[in-house]
Amino acid sequence: SQTIHQWPATLVQPVGSPLSLECTVEGTSNPNLYWYRQAAGRGLQLLFYSVGIGQISSEVPQNLSASRPQDRQFILSSKKLLLSDSGFYLCAWSVGSRVGGYTFGSGTRLTVV
């Protein structure tokens, strides 16, 4: 069965420090991968998505970047965190040939201090 792993679950980082969040998917090939962010009291915002290795689409300009070095690995990064980067970060996957749902990870709660 397919599973999605996301870590760490919580993270506290100082302003100006770098960030790397990793997401991996098991049990499927060539998934579409997504990074979402949910700021406190706000809705889910799509940040990046990827349909293949090295292919990244950005939905909003910001202090973050994404990379997909392997088929089932998606990484969210920042060189210098801002206070406004605090939030709940979620990774998700879908398979283009499947009519149905997206599967989300358990999320990383990032607090920038």
Among 26, 102, 111, 113, binds other proteins (CB under 8 A): 102
Which amino acid, one-letter code, is at 88? F
Nearer to other proteins, 17 or 102 (CB): 102
The pattern of x and - marking residues 43 through 72 that bind other proteins according to CB under 8 A reads xx-x--x-x-----x-x-------------
Please, are residues 76 and 66 in contact by the beta-carbon 8 Å criterion?
yes
- Cβ-Cβ contacts under 8 Å for 106 (sequence gap 6 or more): 6, 9
CB contact at 8 A, 63 and 81: yes
Q: Which residues bind other proteins (CB under 8 A)?
A: 32, 34, 36, 43-44, 46, 49, 51, 57, 59, 88, 90, 92, 94, 96-97, 99-107, 109
